[in-house]
Chains A and B, each alone.
Chain A
């Protein structure tokens, strides 16, 4: 046996196979590495520009190796730079976005969970049609609803306010959150609901005690989806709010456009990065659940 094993280890065809395997692996890594660099390059440029000094950017160009280092752009962007006539940086807009995104995410996710629960476990005549109509919203571009929303926000007195944007995002997000939750809840066995009904639990008790404890995977997916979607949304923010009420996405554009003198690449880079931090954090902490939740069935 021992000699047979030894012979196999120096077998020239086995060694060739081994080399081929290593070469193939190297090829795969090189290929993937190449695309990773392409995707990461813009991020590198923005990060490095946020730490470079403006004269150096002006001299060497936007895309070049960084030689200077300064934190000035970050503090400027955060609290001093003049955007649309007020000189307090983008911090106000950052908090606007937070004030808008957090409640809109929580409420739309919770409503989506309740909708999904009703549409999967308490079906009624026409509930499938209703669900189909709700999911139509998934395919509808936001621009279509601009005018109706302008009218509604105006008539209920919420134009140019964070509260108005919260309302818009809750309603616009319901299609997605309902779709996600309903499809997840469909895979929860109906027998659980029947057993709970016999056990004397009602609509809400079943929701709180049985459905919600099973929901973390899909709730995490929905929260990530909603948070990043609402945070990064630009159109509604720029159309329905102005000046001090604008969310950060709208303010970033205002920052780029309202300039007389040299373009402040350093400050713009820092501001963009500040605006990107919350969604990045969400992905960072929830990303693995996101992938898992999208691909995994509910219960075995």
Chain B
């Protein structure tokens, strides 16, 4: 069992700074997801943890030991690659035992380890096949077997599911989650898919432009995103941003937003913002699932429901729910509706926004404005 701690980590390629002061902690048995758009530095960070990239500045510790200049093979880590990186000329069994052979593990011990891992991953019938004779999902399993077999301190995944088709990806995601629950290894998992991060991780580090934007539990990242980047990146379809101004109605805090034709709507906030940006300007963040067709019944259930009228521009049924693009002022926002109460094209819809889940951001810094009960 092992911990990982990364502090003040920098990576520079010439004059380009790829990682800017990364701070990251993983406790024993934790599943940390590094998520961000391509080019955010997440794979570089993983490669540095693995020892495949040198450290420009800062510290990487595994189990408290500084490993900055320790070779990858001596860090006691295992890694699963996006391309699986199975050795093409070796059978699945040889792929799995290659690392143990390099370390001169006795034959009997090796056989026992292969047996244990292949039973765990259900790959016994595949052991004598070469990677070219395996399907994508099977290669994925063999690659995980190769990583698991050495019983490493730290498990590193580099976008392991992105080469699989959509259906298999969901299945393998569940497999990985089960596997982690069973073996309980400290795991660092790089992905650009926020759903993978949400479903798998015990904590998520959202990265953007070489720094960590937020590092917290999935639900906190989702509900209280540290800034507009995180808010927009996590969740699909992504959060709607509506510019507005902090005001008051009946002494309670509210946000006033512009509608079409110079009209405005004032939406009461459920909670008190912790501070007021200098000019009172804010950005209201509303997730698509917090938009409803307004009815008095619903208002009775959700007291924080604010009402306004919005024209419907596009309607996209997906079966389970119906997505609709609505117009608020100059902006288009997207909502996810129950098909039974879905908007109709061309309708001026009575829209309910659940303000208890709404987020506020400071437009000048893009950062989250916490809200607390008044």
Contact = CB atoms under 8 A, between A and B. Distances in A.
A198 B99 CA distance: 8
Interface stretch (B79-87, B167-175, B193-201): B79-87
B353 interface: no
Contacts of B77: 198
Interface in A156-212: 189, 191-192, 194-201, 205, 209-210
Interface residues of B, number: 24
A9 B93 CA distance: 57
Contact of B73 (A189, A200, A213): A200
Contacts of B81: 191, 194-195
A40 interface: no
Interface string B118-151: 0000000000000010000000000000100000
B148 to A, nearest CB: 13
B52 interface: yes
Interface in B83-109: 83, 85, 87-90, 98-99, 102-103
Contacts of B52: 194, 197-198
Given A194-B52, A195-B79, A200 B85 contact: no
B83 A189 contact: yes
B100 to A, nearest CB: 9
B87 A200 contact: no
B132 to A, nearest CB: 8
B253 interface: no
Contact of A199 (B47, B98, B132): B98
Given A198-B50, A198-B72, A200-B73, A191 B98 contact: no
Nearest to B143: A195
A195 to B, nearest CB: 4
A201 B97 CA distance: 12
A201 B77 CA distance: 14
A197 B73 contact: yes
Interface of B: 47, 50-52, 71-73, 77-79, 81-83, 85, 87-90, 98-99, 102-103, 132, 146
Given A194-B50, A195-B146, A199-B146, 18 more contacts: A189-B85, A191-B82, A194-B47, A194-B85, A195-B81, A197-B71, A198-B50, A198-B51, A198-B99, A199-B73, A199-B98, A199-B102, A200-B73, A200-B99, A201-B73, A201-B99, A209-B87, A210-B87
8 contacts: A194-B47, A194-B81, A196-B87, A197-B73, A198-B50, A199-B98, A199-B99, A214-B89
